Every structure is written in structure tokens, then in C-alpha cells.
Amino acid sequence: MKFNKKNIIFIISIIVSIICSWLFVRKIEWALLKNALKDANYWYVIPTLILTLLVYIVRALRWQGLISHIKPVSVLNLLSITCIGFMANNILPARAGEALRPFILYKKEGVKFSTSVATVIVERIFDMLGLIIFTVAVIALLPHPAHHDSVVPLSANEAHTIKESIIPSLKKWTEVFAAVGVLTIVSLFLIVIKPDFFKKVLSKLCFFLPHKLKDKIYGLYDSFVHGLKILENKTQTVWMIVLSLVIWVLGGAEIYLLGFSFHMHLPLVGACLVAICLALAVALPQAPGYIGVFHIAVLKSLDIFGIQTTAAQSYAIVLWAISILPSTLMGFFFLWREGIAFSEVVKLEEEIAEGKLEEMEGIKEDTK
């Protein structure tokens, strides 16, 4: 194996997942886990799955809005590409779906690849903005341990107290998260208003780089600015932020509903905090499918609310299955719908990683 950047990141990702899996598994009492899974009320899985599907539909709607100033694309086509991308993230290394989605958009809709990449980057920026706003709201709404309502009922016969040392620490970060959100929004608008100025700043920062690399960076910047043109429409921008918040709220609602399957009456704000912890955890380098990292993030975030370990472990396993399996199956279904073989997806991932796509796009542009 060549120790290039891609392989080193892959090795680190596997190590992270192995460590997190060990941390999760080492405390499992298998007999208790078996009973917890057996006694769960799986009827709540149905509405949870519906909310999961809604998240992908809302993501497709948001992506449609982000590329509306470039080309009109149907929500169904964008839903198809979104699900394929998430499927690739679940089973291929290095978040392959993030590069695969703009490539399929480029092949299907003729949207220039660099521009397609820019829309995905802008989508991630709106994800981040939505998460920051969501986090500020959730932390502000978390009950203070000193208050009488800090006791969280888990079933008809028991209650647990929120960990006293965690919530105050989280609340101290509220202003920091809010400041980061405001700074990000202002920066984006400034780039849209003064793109040439920031390009000059970028050129000064990149003065020492080879010309070929600088040209690529400038090209990505131009495409990124083009993708940000959506911010010129204030109504559309607000709508994108609203959809981003809806995505995170739906994620919290999924976690809240599934809690009833395991008789965990977690407060909605607590479920939203779990969603935030998960979002931060899955951003780390890790093995495909978020194995280990996902599970330990759920376990530790539920521990904040004093939820018993076995219940949290069984809950984490089912939540992981609901988060991974439907998107993977939908991804394969849409691959079939698009007439794309999975072997082609693997090949495309390799070509994207090796930078061959830019060459292909350049050839196509030259022949026009």
C-alpha cells in the first residue's frame, strides 16, 4: 500500500472506528442487551423511518434552491443523487459521496463539475449555519441542573438527574457558537459583495504555489462565488436557512420518537442535543458506515441525561441501523433507477480521488 495522503487518512479512520467500537462494546452486558432489544416497542420505528425519509426530501428541496440560479433541476432527480451520495458515504471510504454527488449532477444535468462542487460546498455551509443556530437554541433551552425540572423521567417507575457538570459547561459556549454563526454569515455576504477583493487576498496568500495549483484554486474560488450567488436573493437565503433548520429539527425528532421504543422518555431538547453530538461525531475521520463513532456518540450523549447504559446501547444500535440501512437501500434503488452499476460508482470514486475528473471536464469544455 502506498502511504499517500488518501491511504493515511483511511488508516486513521479505521483506527478511530476500532477504538470507538471497543469503547462501546467493552461495557456491553450481552444478556441485558438481548433483553432490551427484545422488549423494545418497534412500532415507533415506523414514524422514525418516515422522518428519516423526510430529511432526504428536505435536503433535495434545499439543493434545488441552491442551484436554482444555475439550472432548474427536479426534486426527484436531486433526491436520487442525494440518496446515492449518502449510500456511497455509508459503504465507501473517504466520504466518497461528497464528490460523487456533484459528479452525477454534472453527468445527468450538464452542470459544470466545479460549479456542482460549489453547490455542495455551499450546502455544507448551510448545514453548518443551521447546526450553529440549532445548537445555540438547544443549549439555551437545556434545563439547568439546579432547577427542579432537571430530573428526566425515563419510565413510569424511575427518573434520572441530568449530569450537573455538563450543562453549565455547554451553556458557557452559547455565545461562542452564536458569534461563529454571525461571523460565518457576514463573511459569506462579504465574499458575494466583494468577490474581486477577496480573490486578490487569495492570490497574495497563494503567491508561493505553482501556477498550475494556483489556477485550480482560483477556479474553485470562482465556482464557489458562483454558487454563493444564491445569497443575492434574500428571500431565497432565508428559505435555505429555514430548510437547514428543519433538517436538524427532524433529526432531533427522529431521536426523540425512537426513544419511546426503549421506554426512554427523553425530553425533546435532550434528543436534539443527542442529534448535535452525533453531527459533530460523524464529522470525524472514521470507517465507512460511521461504525463505532456513531455508537459511542449516542452512548455518551445519552449519559448526560443519566440514561442506563444497556438501554442506551440497545438504542444506539437500532438508531444506527435506521440511520444507515434505509439511505443505503434507497441509494441502491436510485442507482438501479439511473441505470448505474455499483462498479461504476467505485470506479468514479477512484477517478475523482486521482483528479482525473478535472481532465475529463477540461476535454469536454475544449470540444464545445
More confident position, 23 or 93? 23
Average pLDDT of span 222-233: 77
Question: What φ, ψ does residue 159 adopt, rounded to 5°?
Answer: -145, 150
Average pLDDT of span 343-349: 75
10 Å CB burial of residue 325 (0-12, 13-18, 19+) is: middle
pLDDT tens-digit readout, 281-310: 888 777 788 888 999 999 989 988 888 889
Question: What φ, ψ does residue 172 adopt, rounded to 5°?
Answer: -65, -25
Extract the runs of DSSP E, i.e. beta strands, from 27-82.
none
pLDDT tens-digit readout, 148-171: 444 444 443 334 455 555 666 666
Burial 297-310 (b: 16+ CB within 10 A, else e): bbbbbbebbbbbeb
* pLDDT of residue 356 exceeding 60: no
Average pLDDT of span 56-62: 95
Instruction: Tell me what pLDDT residue 162 has.
Output: 58
| pTM attached to this predicted model | 0.83
The model's confidence at residue 359, banded by pLDDT at 50, 70 and 90, is very low
CA distances (Å), origin 308, targets 158, 313, 323: 11, 9, 22
Instruction: Tell me what pLDDT residue 155 has.
Output: 41
- Name residue 26's amino acid: R
Extract the runs of DSSP E, i.e. beta strands, from the chain.
151-153, 159-161
The model's confidence at residue 324, banded by pLDDT at 50, 70 and 90, is very high
* pLDDT of residue 228 exceeding 80: no
Average pLDDT of span 48-68: 93
Structure-derived torsion over alpha carbons of residues 85, 329, 53, 46, reported in degrees to the nearest 10: -160
Mean confidence (pLDDT) of the chain: 82
